[in-house]
C-alpha cells in the first residue's frame, strides 16, 4: 500500500483528527465499469509478455505491457487505469464484510495486548529504546518517523518479491502487522509531546487561523490514495493488488496521498508553531516525497507502457496536467466524487473532529 502516516493534532480548540494511513477504512470500493464506452479504437500494442486485459473502470484494466490507444467519440481519451472510489452495494458480500469485522476485532485486540498495554506489550520498551538515543523530543520524533518510513517503504518495495514467496494475503498481513504498531507509537508520541518543543511562533490567537487550519485539514482527507478505500484488500479478505488508478482525485494529482500529507503538515505546523511539529512535518513530508517517486517506480515496473500513458496525462503537482491540457476532464467529472467513500470520509472526518478529547485522553494514559 502506498505509504502514509498522518499524525493527530490535539490542540485547543481541537482540529481535525488526522487518520492512520494503514488502519482499515470503512468502505471497500469495487472495480465497476463506468461511463466510458469501449468504442472501436486502434488495435492495442501488446508486448510479447503481456497477459489479456479485461474491461474495467471504463477502459482497460492495466496489465503489464498492454497499452490502449484511441479516444471515445466525445474526444476524451480512453482510460488505461482503473475507476477509483467506485462502490456498489449490490456487489458486496455479507460474508466478506462479516469476515472483515472479525479480522478487525482480532487485530485491535492483538495490537492492544502485544504492543500498547504496558503490562503485556512491547511498545513501551520499543519507545524507551528509541528515546534512549537522545533527550530531545525533536530527535525522537524524527527517529520514529524515519523508522516507520524505512519499514513501510522498504516492505512496499519488496512486495512483489515477498508475494511470490508467501502469497499476496500473507504478505499483506505481515506488512500491516509490522507497520500498524509503528504508526500507533509515532502518533501517540506526537500527541503527548507536541507542545514540548521550542516555540518558534504563536498564531493561535489570530482571527481566522483556526478556521484556515481546520479547512485545510478537512480538505487533506479528500486526497487519500484510492487504494485506502479497498478495505477488503487492506484486511486481506480479498486478494491484495497493486492498482493503477486514473479517475477522481488522480486527475488532479497522481500522488494524492503525498499532497494531502503536505497540506496537513503545513496546516498543523502553522497551528502548533514549535520545533516538535517542524520535526514531525519534515519527517512525514520527506517520507511521502520518497513514496511518490517509489510509487511511480513500482507502477512502471508492474504496468510498463500503460503507466507511461497515464503518467503523461497526469501530474504530481495538483492541477498542473489539467492547466496545461494534458488531462481532459469529462463533462460530468464531479460525479467521480459523488460516491459513497467520499461521503464516508466527510462523516468520519467531522466525527474525528469532535472525538479529539477522547483521543487525547486515551493517548495521555500511555507512558509514551
SS3 for 105-120 is HHHHHHHHHHHHCCCC
Grid look-up 520498551 returns 125
> What pLDDT score was predicted for residue 88?
86
Q: Which residue has the higher pLDDT, 29 or 81?
A: 81
Distances (CA, A) of 152 to 2, 24, 27, 181, 337: 8, 16, 23, 12, 28
Checking if the pLDDT of 37 tops 90, the result is: no
Q: How far apart (Å, rounded) are the C-alpha atoms in residues 22 and 119?
A: 25
Does residue 62 carry a pLDDT above 90?
Answer: no
Q: Which residue has the cell 497499452?
A: 67
* φ, ψ at 79 (rounded to 5°): -75, 140
More confidently predicted of 26 and 214: 214
Chain-centroid distance of CA 339 in Å reads 18
Give bridge partners of residue 67 from the DSSP assignment. Answer: 45
User: Which cell is 151 given?
Assistant: 519499514
User: Is 184 a residue whose pLDDT tops 90?
Assistant: yes
Return the DSSP state at 71.
B
Cβ atoms of 237 and 182 within 8 Å: the answer is: no
Quickly state the pLDDT bin for 78 (edges 50, 70, 90): confident
Are residues 64 and 303 in contact, defined by beta-carbon separation less than 8 angstroms?
yes
Model confidence at 31: pLDDT above 80: no
pLDDT at 89: 85
For residue 77, name the pLDDT band (cuts at 50, 70, 90). confident
pLDDT digits (tens, 9 = 90+) for 125-183: 999 999 999 999 999 999 999 999 999 999 999 999 999 999 999 999 999 999 999 99
Degrees to nearest 5, angle at CA 118 with 117 and 119: 90
Question: Residue 72: its pLDDT value, please?
Answer: 52
**What pLDDT sits at residue 90?**
87
Give me the mean pLDDT over the 223-234 stretch: 90
Sign of CA dihedral 232, 233, 235, 238: positive
The proportion of the chain whose per-residue pLDDT surpasses 90, expressed as a percent, equals 68
Q: Looking at the predicted structure, is the pLDDT value of residue 3 above 80?
A: no
Q: What is the pLDDT of residue 177?
A: 93
Distances (CA, A) of 119 to 82, 184, 190, 345: 46, 17, 22, 35
pLDDT category of residue 34 using cuts at 50, 70 and 90: very low
Among 70-74, 160-164, 176-180, 218-222, the least confident range: 70-74
What pLDDT sits at residue 6? 52
What is d(CA 31, CA 53) in angstroms, rounded to the nearest whole number? Answer: 14
Structural contact between residues 157 and 294, judged by C-beta atoms closer than 8 angstroms? yes
Q: What is the percent of the chain where pLDDT is above 70? A: 79
Mean pLDDT of the chain: 83
With residues binned 3-state (H G I as helix, E B as strand, rest as coil), the percentages for the chain, rounded to 5, are 55, 5, 40
Q: Within 10 Å of residue 111's Cβ, how many Cβ atoms?
A: 17
Burial environment of residue 360 by CB neighbours within 10 A (0 to 12, 13 to 18, 19 or more): middle
**Alpha carbons 99 and 232: distance in angstroms, whole number:** 9
Q: What is the pLDDT averaged over residues 47-76?
A: 43
Burial 3-20 (b: 16+ CB within 10 A, else e): bbbbbbbbbeebbbbbbb
Q: For the chain, give the longest Cα–Cα distance.
A: 66
Amino acid at each position: 500500500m502506498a505509504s502514509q502516516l498522518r499524525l493527530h493534532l490535539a490542540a485547543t480548540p481541537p482540529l481535525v483528527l488526522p487518520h492512520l494511513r494503514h488502519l482499515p477504512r470503512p468502505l471497500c470500493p469495487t472495480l465497476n465499469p463506468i461511463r466510458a464506452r469501449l468504442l472501436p479504437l486502434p488495435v492495442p500494442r501488446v508486448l510479447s509478455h503481456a497477459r489479456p486485459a479485461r474491461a474495467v473502470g471504463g477502459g482497460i484494466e492495466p496489465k503489464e505491457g498492454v497499452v490502449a490507444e484511441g479516444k471515445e467519440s466525445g474526444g476524451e481519451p480512453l482510460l488505461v487505469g482503473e475507476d477509483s472510489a467506485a462502490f456498489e452495494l449490490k456487489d458486496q458480500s455479507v460474508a466478506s464484510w462479516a469476515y472483515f469485522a472479525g479480522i478487525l476485532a482480532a487485530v485491535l485486540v492483538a495490537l492492544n495486548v502485544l504492543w500498547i498495554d504496558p503490562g503485556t506489550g512491547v511498545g513501551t520498551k520499543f519507545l524507551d529504546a528509541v528515546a534512549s538515543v537522545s533527550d530531545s523530543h525533536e530527535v525522537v520524533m524524527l527517529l520514529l518517523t524515519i523508522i516507520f518510513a524505512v519499514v513501510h517503504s522498504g516492505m512496499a518495495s519488496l512486495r512483489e518479491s515477498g508475494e511470490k514467496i508467501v502469497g499476496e494475503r500473507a504478505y499483506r498481513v505481515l506488512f500491516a502487522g509490522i507497520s500498524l504498531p509503528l504508526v500507533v507509537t509515532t502518533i501517540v508520541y506526537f500527541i503527548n509531546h507536541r507542545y514540548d518543543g521550542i516555540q518558534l511562533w504563536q498564531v493561535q490567537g489570530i482571527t481566522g487561523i483556526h478556521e484556515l487550519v481546520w479547512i485545510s485539514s478537512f480538505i487533506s482527507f479528500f486526497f487519500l490514495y484510492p487504494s485506502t478505500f479497498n478495505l477488503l484488500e487492506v484486511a486481506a479478505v480479498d486478494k491484495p493488488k497493486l492498482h493503477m488508478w486514473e479517475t477522481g482525485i488522480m486527475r488532479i494529482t497522481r500522488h494524492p496521498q503525498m499532497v494531502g500529507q503536505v497540506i496537513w503538515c503545513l496546516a498543523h505546523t502553522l497551528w502548533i508553531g514549535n520545533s516538535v511539529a517542524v520535526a514531525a512535518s519534515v519527517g512525514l513530508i520527506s517520507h511521502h516525497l520518497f513514496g511518490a517517486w517509489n510509487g511511480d517506480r513500482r507502477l512502471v515496473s508492474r504496468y510498463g507502457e500503460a503507466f507511461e500513458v497515464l503518467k503523461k496525462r497526469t501530474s504530481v503537482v495538483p492541477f498542473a496536467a489539467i492547466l496545461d491540457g494534458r488531462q481532459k476532464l469529462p463533462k460530468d467529472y464531479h460525479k467521480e466524487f459523488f460516491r459513497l467513500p467520499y461521503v464516508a470520509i466527510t462523516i468520519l472526518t467531522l466525527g474525528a473532529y469532535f472525538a479529539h478529547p477522547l483521543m487525547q485522553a486515551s493517548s495521555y494514559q500511555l507512558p509514551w
